[in-house]
Amino acid sequence: MFWNDVYKGTPPWDVDHPQPAFQALIQSGEIKPGRALDIGCGRGENAIMLAMNGCNATGIDLAENAISGAEVKAMERHVKVNFVVGNVLQMDRLFTEGEFDIVIDSGLFHVMTDEERPVFARQVHRVLKDEGKYFMLCFSDKEPGEYELPRRVSKAEIESTFSSLFNIIYIKDTVFDSLLSPSSRKAYLLSAVRN
C-alpha cells in the first residue's frame, strides 16, 4: 500500500514537530481542551500536541507504519493519545456521530480526489458534534511548483466542498512546514464550524 510504504522512510511532511499553524491556534485559544481528532495524523506530532494541551486526543491514519511510529512517540513523551489505523472516508465505521469537539487536518484534504472530497466533508461533519470545529491546513494555489502532487487548492474549492455542511469562519494564508522547505510552503488554514 502506497501510504504505508511512504512511512518506511521519512516523507517530506513528517517534520519532527507540530505544524506552527496549529500551535498558533492553541496559543490563541481557538483550539480549546475537548475531544479532538487528528485525521491523517501521520506520526502523531499534532495529535500529541493536542493531548499535551488538555485535549482527549485521537489520531487516525491509513498507514500502519505511521500509526506505530506515533504510538512510540506518545509513549516516549508520556502522553496518552488513542491512535487508530483507518480510512477517513469510512470514519462512520470507527467513530460515533458527534463524537468530537474538534477535528484537525494537516495536509490530508489536498490529497483527496474530486470524487472523494464530498465524501470526506460528510465524514468530517458526521464525527463532529453540533457547533464542533474543523481546522484544515492544505497547500494553496499560491504555492508554485512543477509537481502535480500534492494538489494546490483554491479558496473557491475549499468553499465549494465545505460550505453546505459548515459555517466557514475564515480561510487565511499561512505556511506548511515540510522537510523540503521549512516555513515557506504557501498554505491555507480553514476554520469552520459544523452546521
When pLDDT is averaged across residues 17-43 and rounded to a whole number, the result is: 95
Which range is least confidently modeled, 49-58, 66-75, 165-174, 177-186?
177-186
Q: Tell me the residue length of the chain.
A: 195
- Cα-to-chain-centroid distance, residue 182: 18
| Cα–Cα distance for residue pair 19/180, rounded to 1 Å | 14
Beta bridge partners of 141: none
Q: 186 pLDDT exceeds 60?
A: yes
Cell digits for 133? 470545529
Across the chain, mean pLDDT equals 90
What is the structure's pLDDT at 137? 94
pLDDT > 90 fraction of the chain, expressed in percent and rounded? 74
Under 8 Å between Cβ of 91 and 68: no
List pLDDT tens digits, range 158-172.
999 999 999 999 999
**Can you list the domains of the chain with their CATH numbers?**
1-58+69-85 (3.40.50.150), 86-94+108-134+152-174 (no CATH)
When pLDDT is averaged across residues 142-155 and rounded to a whole number, the result is: 71
| Cα–Cα distance for residue pair 1/10, rounded to 1 Å | 16
Cell digits for 31? 483550539
Sorted by sequence, the CB contacts under 8 Å of residue 76 that are 6+ apart come out as none
What is the structure's pLDDT at 181? 62
* Half-sphere CA count of 20, side-chain side, radius 13 A: 13
DSSP-derived letter for residue 40 is T
